[in-house]
Structure formats: C-alpha cells, structure tokens
Amino acid sequence: MAVSAKDNNFSVPNNKDAQEININVDNKYQEIDGFGASGAWSLDQIGEDWSEENKNKVADLLFSQEEGIGLSMWRFNIGAGSDETDEEIINDPWRRAESFKGDEDEPYDWSKQAGQQWFLQAAKERDVEEFIAFVNSPPVWMTKNGHGQPDPSVGSTNLKEESIDDFAIFLADVLEHFEQEELPFQYISPINEPTWDWNYANQEANRYNIEDMKKVIISLHEELKERDLDTEIDSPEAVEYTSLLDDEMYAEFTGNDSHYSSGNANGDYPGKYREYIKEFLGDSEIKEMIGNKISAHAYWSDHYSGEDRLIPLRESVRENLNQYDPDAKIWMSEYCILGDNGHERDLSMETALDVARLIHFDMVETQASAWQWWLAFSPYDYKDGLIYTDYLEPGDEENIIESKLLWALGNYSRFVRPGAERVELQGANDKDDLMGSAYYKEDDDQLSVVLVNYSEETKPVKINVDELPVKKQAIQFKPYVTSEDYDLEQKNLFPAHKTFNVPPKSVVTLVAQ
C-alpha cells in the first residue's frame, strides 16, 4: 500500500513516559539454528501442476530475504508411497505421498515427488541454509499391514522388525542421492509424532514405543556413520510438550499424582510412549546419536489450551531439560492451530499475533533453537498455512493468498538468522501487552529486536543497548512492521536515543547493524 512520509516515521523525540527496554548483548542464551516450515504435502501438487511464474512467486514469498520472509530452514517430506496403496484410506489426494522406491525389488525412481523437489531446489537458490528430511511412515512395503498408517492389529508399531535396517538403508540412500545432486540434508527425522495410535489416519503416519524408536535411531546412526554422511538425526518429534516431561515433572505441572497418558501412553499398546527427555537425553548413547538435541511439537501449548500452557508449561520443559543437560538444545519442529480454534482460515492479525506470541515464549521460556511451522502452503479452510490457495485441480485459478501470519513469522525468520544468539532483554514480557526478544549475530555485528504488541494501544519504547562494540549514540535501528496496514514493511531509520512507537496489534523487528 502507498504510505506517506509521516506514515513511514514511527519514531519521535524522547518521550519521558516511554517503556524502557534494556538489552545486554554480553548475556547470551541459546544459539539460533533457524526458522522454517514444511513442503508437505501440497507443494507436491503445486510444484508439478503450476506455472513457473506462480511457483516462483510462492518460492519468493517463503525463501527470499528481499521479497519474502526469508525462511532459513526447510522441511522436505520423504513419502511412504500411500499415493499408490491408500486411496481408500486417505481420500484427499493432497494428503497422500509418493515414494522414491515402490517395492523392495524395484529400483529407485528419483522422478517421484517432483513438486517438492522443485521447491527444494528453489529454496537452495534463495539461500535457505538448513534442510530437514522428515518421514511420517516407513515405505509401505516395510510396514506390517502394507499401508502408510497403522491399524489396531499391528501392535506397538507398523514397521516390521525385520525391516528396521532396510528402513535405515532406504533413508541413507535418499540422503546420499540428494547429496550427489548438491542438495544435502543437514538433518534427517525418521519418526514423527510417535505417541498417537494413527489407526486408519487420513495421512501417512506411524506409532513407535520408546524401544521401537531407539532401534530405528541406532540402525540409522550406524548406516549414516558407515557411509560418512554428515547428517544429524532429529528426534523424537514428540507430539506435544507434556509428553516430553519426566513423570515427576508432569505430576508437578498438572498438580496431581499422574503421568502423561494421552495417545498410546494410555496403555492401549505395549511399551512406553512418554518421558522423551529422560529417555533420549538421559540415555548417553542416544543423546550422542541425536546431537544432544530433542525436537517437539507445540500443539496444545497455546493460550487456547488453558492459562497453564503458554508460559508455565514452557518453563517446566526448560527446567526438565536442564536437569539432564543445560546445554541440550530443543527445537519446536511443528505447529499450527488445531481443534475447534483451527477451523476456517484467518488471514488477519488475530491469528498472526497469537502465533507471534507463542514464538516469543518458545524463544524466551523454552529457549528453542529452531522454530518450524507446519504447512507452508495450504488449500484448506483451516489455520494450518502461511500461504493459501483455492486451487484444487488443473484448470482452477492458480491463486496465491497471503496471510498476516506469513509476514509475522517473517519478523523472526528474515532477521534472526542461523548463528545468532538470543541475548538478554528486560522490560517487555507481558503476554497480554508488549513482548520483546533480542538476538545478536557477532559475525555480522547485527542486533535484531522482535517486539510483539498484543494490545490495542500504541506502545512508545526506548531501547537501551549495552556492550555493543559501538557507542550507544551511534546505534540506529531500521524498523520492519507487520500490522493490519503493513506486511513486513520497512520504515524510517531512527537513532536509539529516540522513542519508537510500536503500533497496536503489530509485530515489529528493529534491526541495528
């Protein structure tokens, strides 16, 4: 939209009533690995069917640091082959996936998943730095029931015991192929949300108890080591934060003498499906194999799920991690809005602010090193996408619908780059008002401050920065604003000694370089 010079100037002379925000770059917390999203499953359709012009528009929105939100991580789904076996179970073709290897005796077909491959290449060309290959189900020919999701008969997991090593070989073959194509994956996630039963699921999926998971991780680790593949295993991709907690921590968090019992943790299937921090970081062998890092999804940890979720749950997760290793990393590797609140697209700032607030507390309380949204691109009337379309089949209009959430995520992803460290920020941590977090990348001498104004009032702020290798008087901030009026729009540069007015219901990044 066109703006006047006045609209571009959000700073004013010093306001004695301004909220003081104090930053100290010497007090460091977690190092940032990146911000990302996944190409499952819709980008297989879009990448195959759409015009080059429109595919490039989508890629620019997701990956470009000049025209889009500059994601630094990208999740590629390695399909199980449900596209050929599960049409009657997964009715929606947009939720099925091809496989690079259709059967044990068939050769690899690297032309499969061409749409996702197009976007993988597009991400690399736009300088995305970290690539994660993730798996929802082993290939259908390795499963007990021949499908890309379990049924009640298969027991603790749908992966055949005799196929564990074959699964590791398959994944290593895929990684090796893409490395030869100069599209190497830095991470491989062999298991996704192992806690749910996933019986007859409307997507590829699988359950695994702890013992099942460790067998897969050990086999895959050995295969990667044998081939000298420099790809780190990402696990467990737990479905929700509460499933991570030690039983004692869970009982303390809930205030009753119980342990986590959602999904398979209720005892429907043999084995253990909980306490992932203890089982993965408390096991020295597994801890080393997964790089002293665990990943989890933030479902049911938002304000919709109760007052105890947004902040106290994240504090409990971090406390539990620190009991095993204060240096252990955690990734928030998947999130969208589920349940009754997930229905119907919301392109407005309402959802954008809810998610920006959740990101803030994942950064500050969970101390996540990475944050990854679920669907980068969605055809659904659901709060699961960054970009939407009404396109369903060839012949439909190839329309691209941007959400405010896309741009609010960009307030983090474009400016908080891999290698930056979160640094101390005091004076803005009110979940219903103004929240702030700060990140400093020493190599680039760049400080990025992300402010989330959840309130309906303008918030004048004064930014004080200590321990930067320049005089305070010389610091100038370049603001980028996302609100109902602006999409990550750059505003006028202002010196740190001035007051900056954070617009109501907005996400703002202040960049000092």
Final residue of a structural domain among 390, 418, 446: 418
Distance CA 115, CA 48 (A): 5
CA 334 distance to own-chain centroid: 4
Q: Residue 470: what pLDDT?
A: 64
Q: Residue 308: what pLDDT?
A: 86
Final residue of a structural domain among 369, 387, 418: 418
Distance CA 243, CA 260 (A): 6
Q: Residue 15: what pLDDT?
A: 82
How many other C-beta atoms lie within 10 A of the C-beta of residue 66? 8
Q: Domain range for residue 480?
A: 5-27+426-512
Same domain, 263 and 174: yes
**Domain with 397 in it: what CATH number?**
3.20.20.80
Same domain, 362 and 451: no
For residue 184, what are its two tokens? 């190497």
Q: Residue 471: what pLDDT?
A: 61
Q: Residue 9: what pLDDT?
A: 72
Contact assessment for residue 24 and residue 417, using Cβ atoms and an 8 Å cutoff: no
Q: What are the average pLDDT values for consecutive 10-residue runs of the chain, which has 513 residues?
A: 51 85 97 99 97 99 99 99 97 98 98 99 99 99 99 98 99 99 99 98 98 99 98 99 98 94 93 98 99 98 88 98 98 97 97 98 99 99 98 98 99 99 98 98 96 98 84 81 98 94 98 88
Kindly report the pTM of this predicted structure.
0.96
Domain count, the chain: 2
**Domain with 462 in it: what CATH number?**
2.60.40.1180
Contact assessment for residue 267 and residue 204, using Cβ atoms and an 8 Å cutoff: no
Final residue of a structural domain among 402, 418, 434: 418
Same domain, 168 and 213: yes
